[in-house]
Amino acid sequence: MAERLTTSAARNVFYGGSAFFFAIFVGLTAHSHYAMVTTTTDVATLTPAVARGKHVWEKNSCINCHTILGEGAYFAPELGNVWVRWGGKDDPAGARDMLKAWMASQPSGVPGRRQMPQFNLTEQEVNDLADFLEWTSRINTQNWPPKVSG
């Protein structure tokens, strides 16, 4: 056995190891993508209304205060499970009415409470936002957030 590593052996170790770990990386990336598409996201119910609701979310920069599925600012409550908190699984119409009333009543003017601005959304925008929040409630979040209260 050689006492030292030759240049060609070192090169072979480098290229072989690089190829091996690159193959592992590609395999894990493909597996993650497959798992996200097939087990977590509810692609079948992704409608144009849901896409418009996400546009309302982005246009009004809701993420600057709220989180959705753990992403965003922690200034205001998590909204990824607001549909569940408002009883949308049992009474979707009631949850939709709750969202409309909540958006219309802002800012609430309650002393000592952070105030949400009035965005003056149209009824269509509120319905689209409700569709988006309902859709996000069906994503398999693997028990996120840990508290149902957001």
Decide: 144 and 69 in contact? Cβ < 8 Å: yes
Q: Per residue in 77-110, pLDDT tens? A: 889 889 989 999 899 999 999 999 999 999 888 8
Q: Which residue has the tokens 């509120």?
A: 126
For the chain, the first-to-last Cα distance in angstroms comes to 63
Round to whole Å and give the CA distance between 29 and 114: 41
Structure tokens at 65: 């205060």
Sign, CA torsion 118/124/125/129: positive
Q: Per residue in 51-86, pLDDT tens? A: 999 999 999 999 999 999 889 998 888 898 899 899
Above 90 in pLDDT, residue 120?
A: yes
Q: What's residue 121's pLDDT?
A: 95
Q: Which residue has the tokens 């599925």?
A: 69
**Domain at 47-150: CATH code:** 1.10.760.10
Structure tokens at 62: 């809701």
Secondary element (H or E) of residue 72: strand 71-72
Cis peptide bond upstream of 92, omega within 30: no
For the question of whether the overall pTM of this predicted structure is more than 0.85, the answer is no
Mean pLDDT of the chain: 90
Q: What's residue 147's pLDDT?
A: 78
Categorize the per-residue pLDDT at 1 as very low, low, confident or very high, splitting at 50, 70 and 90. low
